[in-house]
Structure 1
Amino acid sequence: MRVLHVISEMGSGGAETLVAGMVLASGAVGWESGVASGGGHRADALRARGVPTFTVPVARRTATGVLRAAAATRAAVRRFEPDVVLAHNVSATLVARLAVAPGRALPVVTVCHGLADADYRGAARILRHTARTVVAVADATADRLRDAGFEDPVVIPNAVFPQPPTIPRVVVRSALGVAPHVPVALCVARMEPQKRHDVLLDAWAKLPGDAVLLLAGDGSLRTGLTHRCAELGLTDRVRFLGTRADVPDLLAAADVTVLTSDWEGMPIAVLESMAAGRPVVATDVSGVRAVLADGGLVVPPRDPAATADALGALLFDPPARTTAAAAGLAAIRLRHDPHTFMRSYDELLRASIGGSRR
């Protein structure tokens, strides 16, 4: 089965991480995979491993942008000749649907990785006309889609494709200028409004001691966040690392991870942290509570004081970290196994090719 993944970009985001994992695991279920995207370091890495990749301009929210992306995707479809298109999120679905030649029975299956609350109704309207099947990455995402008018999403919880660290913990910390005994929290997230780094910085300012916060990611808010960090007197306790391709090594260096988003689907950063044995502090949004189970602590969104309390409870209490880490690993093995995940997608895509909606 030839599967073409269509996604806006292939940088460091959660959906991009999932696509890369699916592509590299696809041989085990009998797929030949290709990726059509706006590029990024994950696309470069896949290309280096022989995966067919196709450059598609990012479809900005304009008619011209969508049509340009659709034309490039149409060329990718002609070259790769897929049996099914797996489109990641709504804009990629619209582009993929426009790219498929009229009358051609090429199914487009959508993966909905999560949306802001205000976007669900518009997304459901588009998906009713563009996708044969819609996969929701969490029960909460499926519920939002149903409430918005898309009646029958299929739920396949995200999996994590574990990657061991390549460098010992002490070496990573040394390179980051962090002493072996210092408590370290890691946030892996794009610096965009959804992720609410401002809340995280306000929380970090409330924590005592010499703990260090690592921020892995980049985006439109970085300059403002750097200034906010200085205003709070946190320059010596926060490291802005930019976009990183070595997240497994950063996880090895950390004691806890943190995510203060306003909304999520089923965040890959949380799953990766749990799989690496690192407990998580995250906001109680959408599917996060179900993912964490006992593998960390959930806090209300936009609440720096609660976030600081939760971080302190794990950063400065090694036995609590150990207990949460063990629970997180058990949850990953039980509910987010990559083999089960790939088999579920394999069955779904083959059914789509056969003409079945589900």
Structure 2
Amino acid sequence: MMVEVMRRVEPGSDPASAVTNGSLRVLYVFPGPAEGSAMIFARKQVEAMRGLGVVPETFALESRTDLACVSRESKRLRRCIASFCPDLIHAQYGTVTACLAGLMTMVPLVITFRGSDLNPAPSDPWLRSAVRRGLSQYAARKAARMICVSQELKRRLWWRRDRALVLPSGVDTDVFVPRPQPQARAELGWGATERIVLFNAGLSPAVKRLDLAQAAVRKAEQLCGPIRLQLLDGLVPQAMVATMMNGADCLLLTSDWEGSPTIVQEAMACNLPVLSVEVGDVRERLAAVTPSGIVGRDPTQIARALAELLARPARSNGRDSIAVVAQDHIARQTLAVYHEALGRRDGC
């Protein structure tokens, strides 16, 4: 097995009229650095919202674990809110990110829960994982509306589920488009006859269960010959990811926990077959997609399904099912959530 890694509405104006006249001001609060590929799908959403007339501003929360840094960041966030005067704040993650956004102002808060903010994280110490989830549940009480990227995540909310809408992250269908596999492979320097399996290890390979994927690929090699397991590390630019999806034979997903894995929807947009364990909303996404499949969390079972898929390589019909998660469609539904949030400024 060969493994490779590719690395302003003025203050005091009526918010409802702001939505109507297209001048709604939204502050988007992100976890992590201001630059880079992290949370790229959420940053893309901001641009889609701009296209619908929203006036956006972004705030990157540099640290969520260093208390001194969090204190400094809270002051910076307060200054940003005072300067920008948002009608609404949209926290793009739970935990400390959503808590700070909810505590800094009385402006209506929308939170998008994306996965590890509500899901357990076996790779993290138990206390850290519990604190993360507790902060997310506390933040939910402050939210006017919430978005959960999967039904599974919504079920994890302790309260106010009636304020939560299940809405996956949107996919940029202008970036993720089907292309001829030989052309993509030539650009990447991949062999024309190689069996290539794409795996998103992200920034937390243990949660993504890279070990299970590797074990399954080793067993699959015994059935069908050499396989290149091509890893994504969460830092690869979107355009390159799209090229790799068009060059690969399938996407393999073995995660312990997911919300709504955007990587699956991106693969669908490129007509790349997906082989996945039961996690997040993958079964719903792949219901009409072929060839693709759901398998058990057993390396032997995964290997057999993988070898069978690689023995008869073909592109999927995934793009036929992508409209419901296309970025512009998700953006319009998100704007409707903003309408609802602005109608409940009393926090009741």
TM-score normalized by structure 1? Answer: 0.75
1:331 to 310, 321, 326: 321
What is the aligned counterpart of 2:137 among 98, 122, 125?
125
**8 A contact 1:265–1:288 mirrored in 2:** no
The structure 2 residue matched to 1:261, chosen from 247, 255, 264, is: 255
- By how many angstroms is 1:184 displaced? 1.3
In the aligned structure 1, how far is the partner of 2:286 from the partner of 2:135?
A: 27
Of stretches 148-157 and 112-121 in structure 1, the one that deviates more from structure 2 is: 112-121
What does the per-residue CA deviation read over 1:96-151, in whole Å, with 9 as the maximum and x for residues that have no partner?
Answer: 12333xxxx41111001113237596255312433222111112211222xx3443
In structure 2, the CA distance between the partners of 1:139 and 1:262, relative to structure 1 (3 Å rule), is same
Q: CA RMSD in A?
A: 2.6
The amino acid of 1:283's aligned partner reads V
* Residue-by-residue CA offset, 1:71-95 (whole Å, 9 max, x unaligned): 2222332333322111012121012
Matching of residues 336-347 of structure 1 within 5 Å: 336-347=325-336
CA distance in 2, matches of 1:67, 1:122: 19
- Report the Cα offset of residue 257 of structure 1: 0.8
Matches for 1:85-234 after TM superposition, within 5 Å: 85-91=89-95, 92-100=97-105, 105-115=106-116, 116-117=119-120, 119=130, 122-123=134-135, 125-145=137-157, 148-152=158-162, 153-162=164-173, 163-164=175-176, 169-170=181-182, 172-174=184-186, 176-192=188-204, 193-208=206-221, 209-217=225-233
1:168-216 Cα deviation digits (max 9, x unpaired): 7545534544211212111233141211111111111112213212101
User: The residue matched to 2:219 in structure 1 has which SS?
Assistant: coil
Q: Which whole-Å CA distance do the structure 2 matches of 1:114 and 1:346 have between them? A: 22
| Cα distance in 2 between the residues matched to 1:134 and 1:309 | 40
Pick from 61, 73, 77: which aligns with 2:77?
73
> Per the alignment, do residues 343 and 177 of structure 1 end up closer, same or farther by CA in structure 2, a change over 3 Å counting?
closer
Q: Does the alignment pair 1:58 with 2:71?
A: no
Post-superposition Cα deviations, 1:51-74, rounded to whole Å, max 9, x if no partner, equal xxxxx32211x5434323322222
Give the fraction of aligned pairs with identical amino acids, expressed as a percent.
27
Q: Is the 8 A contact 1:59 1:69 kept in 2?
A: no
- Aligned residue number for residue 337 of structure 2: 348
Which residue of structure 1 lines up, in the alignment, with residue 47 of structure 2? 24
Q: Which moved more, 1:18-27 or 1:249-258?
A: 18-27
Instruction: Pick from 14, 24, 27 the counterpart of residue 4 of structure 1.
Output: 27
Contact kept, 8 Å, 1:166 with 1:249, in 2: the verdict is: no
Letter of the structure 2 residue corresponding to residue 88 of structure 1: Q
- Displacement of 1:305 in angstroms is 1.7
The answer for the alignment partner of 1:223 in structure 2 is none
Answer yes or no: is the 8 Å Cα contact 2:141–2:159 preserved in 1: no
Give the 3-state SS of the residue equivalent to 1:207 in structure 2: helix
1:229 corresponds in structure 2 to: none
Aligned-residue offset at 1:12: 3.7
- Aligned CA distance change for structure 1 residues 123 and 287 (closer, same or farther; 3 Å): farther
DSSP 3-state at the match of 2:26: strand
Shift of 1:264: 0.3
Is there any run of 5+ residues in structure 2 with no aligned partner, and where? Answer: 1-23, 121-128
Q: Distance in 2 between the 1:35 and 1:166 partners?
A: 31
Displacement of 1:269 in angstroms is 0.4
Instruction: Name the aligned partner's letter for residue 21 of structure 1.
Output: K
Distance 1:123 1:315, change over 3 A: farther
Task: Count residues with an aligned counterpart.
Answer: 301
Cα distance in 2 for residues equivalent to 1:151 and 1:212: 43
Is the Cα contact below 8 Å between 2:178 and 2:269 reproduced in 1? no
TM-score by length of structure 2 reads 0.77
Residue 7 of structure 1 aligns to a residue whose secondary structure is strand
Instruction: Classify 1:68/1:289 alpha carbon distance in 2 versus 1 (closer, same or farther; 3 Å).
Output: farther
Give, in angstroms, the shift of residue 157 of structure 1: 3.1
**8 A contact 1:266–1:291 mirrored in 2:** no
Secondary structure at the counterpart of residue 96 of structure 1:
helix
The 3 A distance-change label for structure 1 pair 189 and 28 is same
CA distance in 2, matches of 1:88, 1:111: 5
CA contact under 8 A between 2:261 and 2:280: conserved in structure 1?
Answer: no
| Post-superposition offset of 1:30 | 1.1
- Report the alpha carbon displacement of residue 298 of structure 1 after superposing the two structures with TM: 1.6
SS in 1 for 2:198: strand
The secondary structure found in structure 1 opposite 2:58 is strand
SS where residue 265 of structure 1 aligns?
coil
